[in-house]
Amino acid sequence: MATRIRLARGGSKKRPHYSVVIADIRSPRDGRFIEKVGTYNPLLSKDDERRVILKEDRIKHWLEQGAVPTDRVLRFLDAAGMATRPSRNNPNKAKLGKKAQERLDELRAKEEAAAAAAEAAAAPAEEASEEATAE
């Protein structure tokens, strides 16, 4: 039987509370589960120790049995030091969108034009001062 360590949502509307459960991958999100191995309360502050509570011995047991954690649960396990989450590399994430890139190009073009105009205005003044010193 393929098992997964995942979150099951509870709580009322706009007040979520999650249980970390071991469930068959075919069962619904909030449906039948095998064992409850922790809780997650996203409404608590990130530095609160009660935000994520895990039963480490039971989770280790299920990981040895072949249970696969979801990405969110794997983050919790990585923070607790029970598993390692591979780092992800998305080089396109830092790239600007098409419209933002166009705005940036327009801004650079305006700056270059302003710099060229400033040089052009400064060049005749320099020539006039050089002619005055030459006479």
Q: 21: domain CATH number?
A: 3.30.1320.10
Is pLDDT above 80 for 128? no
Residues 76 and 104 in one domain: no
Q: Cβ atoms within 10 A of the Cβ of 74, count?
A: 17
Structural domain includes residue 85 = no
Structural domain includes residue 74 = yes
Structural domain includes residue 65 = yes
Give the 3-state secondary structure of residue 26: coil
Tokens of 65: 């049995």
In this predicted model, which residue has the larger pLDDT, 134 or 86?
A: 86
Output the average pLDDT for the chain.
89
Write out the residue range of the structural domain in which residue 29 sits.
Answer: 3-80
Give the pLDDT band (50/70/90) at residue 21: very high
CB 16 within 8 A of CB 9: yes
Give the pLDDT band (50/70/90) at residue 119: confident
Residues 102 and 38 in one domain: no
Q: Is 61 exposed, middle or buried (0-12, 13-18, 19+ CB in 10 A)?
A: middle
Give the pLDDT band (50/70/90) at residue 3: very high
Alpha carbon distance 33, 45 (integer Å): 28
Q: What does the pLDDT read at residue 133?
A: 61
**pLDDT tens, residue by residue, 28-78:** 988 999 999 999 999 999 999 999 999 999 999 999 999 999 999 999 999
Structural domain includes residue 87 = no
Q: What does the pLDDT read at residue 89?
A: 85
Residues 120 and 64 in one domain: no
The pTM is what?
0.65
Alpha carbon distance 29, 49 (integer Å): 25
Q: Which helix (H) or strand (E) covers residue 6, if one does?
A: strand 3-12
Residues 123 and 71 in one domain: no
Alpha carbon distance 17, 34 (integer Å): 19
Q: What does the pLDDT read at residue 134?
A: 58
Residues 60 and 103 in one domain: no
How many domains does one find in the chain?
A: 2
**Residues in a beta bridge with 35:** 22
Residues 27 and 65 in one domain: yes
Residues 71 and 113 in one domain: no
